Structure 1
């Protein structure tokens, strides 16, 4: 079943007809894919940067079947059949929280705040929470909920909402994770502390508490995953939304291929085509400021553009362009603290403009063209600066821009080969990213197609694009 394309006018109409509580639900549902607070801007961003039915999925979440019928000409049953076949943009975790939000009564919300009052007071949040969703947002923000979704199981049992407790248990079993949730921050709080406070503070007045995960003789999921990661010297990569990927394609040949690949790897993907330098910098800065990164384990950035030695021209086509250092620096631990300690992957396809020469005091002029001598190759390599922050993987491929005329409309050999390698489940499971890149080197240089591939990285552990 084809889904009608939503127009800008339709988005405006949808935004105007949503109620305030429905807007709250949509903003919460989109926290992993957008940082916009204005509803129209949010709807526009998620509509452009994600699969086509995403607006349909959001309207289904808030049960606005009247708007679905008006703008999509579909019945509730037709939407449900479609969504069972489509890749869902909104995570199962957020869908669960939204479902719980619909069933928590106002009086029960007061009980939940009471159970959490110690931590809420210390976080300065006690008087701000007026809805279940806002309570969940604050708990996630202060890493009180994100490390242990079984916390919800405990509090629902305490307030005698066994039906909601069962929903949480079912979610845990579905995700095949014992006693933990899909979201774990880079610097999590102690997982057992808050749960213990709830049980001990309520045991005298509310009777025996459910044993929960701590009585099953198992280690909390966050500690377990950390032990696995430390033992194997692996970065933590969990099932579900493994990471966030941004694709900026100023040529137009690779975006759809990369989008399909990273969606299949359960990344949240934002895709942007044909942008100018100023627009690209704004996009990257906006993504770096997103709080959602704390919920993901990996950040990946693809930029495809014409350029020179140390800059990309995007659609501007001339100097000064966007500095490669600037791209990296936007996502350093200092600039983007929510990515601190997490692998940040950059894949740059630079179609080198040979007839533009650049002169900078104290630097070299690089001409990356077929036939260059060994000295100029060494000089070119030296001008590519090594990342000075930990956990950065920088893969930079250059080829003469004439390649675009020789293979008009075709994907980059570099990105196509990377796609082929990452599409193989067994490869991702048994070979870390550095090994995969070594194989990518072999493919590129065996082809002898004029591509020059350079890798600089400061990874501190092995990275497998496969969940633990």
Structure 2
């Protein structure tokens, strides 16, 4: 009987240890398992068995990480980039040769990431007569619900009508359309040799959805229709992204798309606003973005109200011409989902609100230009829950608009790159520089010298955090990155 050697046992162990619970659930589901036990030990044993079943266990693990979009782990464990794996998969795909790996499951993982808790609760209620209440209550994600439905033979790769019906009944027409596209593709009746997952992350496509969602319609994908995202927010210190495109889940970019890039050559490139509410890291960012040829506008020690006022008024001054892009950096105490500024009480500003201040409808002057956000939060104990719409409904007005916004030309949520890192506030007491900000400034400058893509620079940041967390597990940094960029962005 074949065995796994010690080196590969170590790789499997490190791989699984780097995944959080949600990612381990995804891994099991993508591998065709209906197991609900996503514990670290179980997943390690599961991967060992699949490794032995594969003719090339290493390629199996690499492709699995690629489909989970954990390119940072690929780089650390196997010294390969996502492009290396993608190029290899053009000729050799391991996972898709297994009968248990289907395009349907790739699609369902993508859809699961696009469902928020409210949507999930509605679906669980609708299915309460189909699946026992006990099992529905235990379901933490949409994948858990799908597993229970598969056990009852209510859902399969060949039969997704029940899923489509659920999405229609809860008002998620955007997701229902993905199911229809999947059925029309014919993939639900035949297993293709190639079923590629997203190469680059995109946010959820809540077409005509509530204002609290990311309103990126399918038109926003343009030539890259089929590219998706990934990501629930990772809490392991490594990045994961959120998949959300219509089926097929992704495709390799065309040669024309690969050549298309943002203009990013003006001097200055654009405005970079830096808000440092803790007095640690702001100057380092200022030096970096000055070197990157941005007009830097620094602020210190702002309350949440003052942060909001500054961000809303940034382009009201005619001298702050946006150039080819915009950067927003915020260093503050807060929570995973909010920024407190210097306030000791209150709910602060929802991080999602910061982004929406610069979308096409709120800030038309930036339509079509890349908007980059880099957020470092030092987490304090949770305050009273803040409404998702705080500081939004009555306070945000379009800025710099000389006419109606043409939504079918440039989508509201297009052209955004979002990078958010958080760690415990006790890291401030040690008077140490943020590992995230230190790596970010270093690799952005390196990318400028090398004329690298923004994604390459951020991959290095992910790797630095991965290494730090491995050496200092008591001082973990957590990072999530996602984007709706329509073109390549090079820091030359």
For normalisation by structure 2, the TM-score amounts to 0.40
Identify, as 1 or 2, the structure richer in helix: 1
Q: Whose radius of gyration is greater, 1 or 2?
A: 1
For normalisation by structure 1, the TM-score amounts to 0.42
